[in-house]
Structure 1
Amino acid sequence: MMTSNAGTTPASPVVSVKPVELRPPDRGTDLLVKVSAPVGGRDLPLIVLSHGYGSSMDGYGPLADFWAARGFVVIQPTHLDSRTVGLAPEDPRTARLWRYRVDDLKRVLDQLDLIEDAVPGLAGRIDRDRVAVAGHSFGGQSAGVLLGLRVLDPRVGEDLSDPRVKAGVLIATAGKGGADLTPYAAEHFPFMNPDFTHLTAPALVVAGDKDDLPLSHRGPDWTMDPYHLSPGDKSLLTVFGGEHSLGGIAGYEVRETTDEDPDRVSLIQQATWAYLRHALGIESASWAAVQKGLSATSRAIGKIESKQV
């Protein structure tokens, strides 16, 4: 088991502002975002965090708060599938929710000036050259698209990668589609058909070895596909005993958490923070410390492997 907060910097005060309203003309609904940032500091790296299906900008406090308290600006858009939006199933946008999600993430980057101005004291403090994306579940696919993942909808995967994004974290993200999906998933989620061969940007894939989703018949190793099937600089954090909420990352008191475990949450907080500092070229000592901490004890609650292809 890792020492609590091993390898991380002390927490600093954070300011959070919500909702910041973006008004895309082609979305039909305003895009609401939450911004969390350290009170002090300059040249702050940025993480755009994409929530899982049905959640919102108010979710994922255990991750967003941890990252912001340790030097990152975190921006959380509320996607159209959020329960807070209440999009009707017959709404014509429903069939393309995956694409609206990607547009949301890009729009955040397009309108950083407006977002900065909405947060007192933030203007001019974001390092535009150190931008990362992160996502959980459906949000992992959304974030992955900006890193090079292509959605086969239905057959040809359009390149929607974004050169402004330098690295990412994909948490409990869907694996291969096609025959690997259950009949229900294939019928209701045709966009769940990713092509990982162009996902070349550096990324940390986080997967629970007990995350047996009903969307695939393959079992927990399905969410490890983004690591095994993508080229380039990748790392895989396997969380032992982790189910889909991985100990409770989706919120402090989220009822959907089936495997509540503060140690798992702490591991993911530390590992994701340290990895992104490494991948964005800030420093690598913290990432090395996390890896060493896991390998140094037989009571570790996870393992990390890496590749460069």
Structure 2
Amino acid sequence: MTHPFRAPLSFMGVPHVTDPGAARGVILGLPFDCGAHPTRVGARLGPFSIREQSLLLRPWDGDSGINPLEQLGLVDLGDASVTPGDVDGAMGIIEAAMDIALSGGALPIALGGDGAIALPQMRALARRYPELCVVHLDAHTDAYPIDGLNNATPFARAFEEGLIDPRGSIHIGTRRSHMVPGVYDYGRQLGYGIIGMDQLIKDGIDATMGQVRDRIDGRPVYLCFDMDFFDPAVAPGVCTPAWGGASAREGFAVLQALAGLNVVSVDINTISPPHDVGGMSAFLAATLAFETLVMAACGKFAL
């Protein structure tokens, strides 16, 4: 008799498990947002939408000829059991979920969720990886000179807690308006490198990413991909959109140019389905996750 129940929706239909076992790649949903934005709340729904849109993808990569799902034994751990808006409670739950995702030595790919989810991930990662560095692709630094923990401050709090090495960390893609003055000056005071989107395009992706590799110098990397790195023309469904961002082609080129880094964790966040047109932003995020898996399976990250 056929089993009458269906497994939970998983990324590209991979097995849903609660223990990563021997998997070399794991998906982890972090369905949390602070609920603090005055007009745009919805990133708590991001993981489900990314998984839903991932069903449009096919498992074989045309360029490399490999199936990264099989190569990495990819599994989906499901979602951390968080309550949106409960910032303090969610931080401990996400940190514990990351501990499980990291327990078997796999590469975790976290699906967010707003930018606040970065801090508990870094707390878990810092225990395993001394001199942890961050490559943060975002229209904003998320290291604002303000108090508290929200989606504007995870990298300020990470500096204060000594979780990462800011001298080897960099924010890429910054641009446009901010809610407080002096954001870039403050980030640089903390030790972060900041490369604006205009500079990235002017200097070229390959040259810029070469500078990033020199800055990191072999240290372990938490790769945090805020989807508002992309232009709203291709990713309208994000928490804080900003015009002048990357095209889809440029975003994939940036990811490819990060080959050779010791990437130990990946975070793709800020998809906001209530503001997403036809799921296109979530589909872009799912494709970005797939491309990351291909790079890991091909040995382009020093796992």
Q: Which has the higher contact order (CA 8 A, sep 6+)?
A: 2
TM-score (norm 2): 0.44
TM-score (norm 1): 0.43
Comparing both structures, which one devotes a greater share of its residues to strand? 1
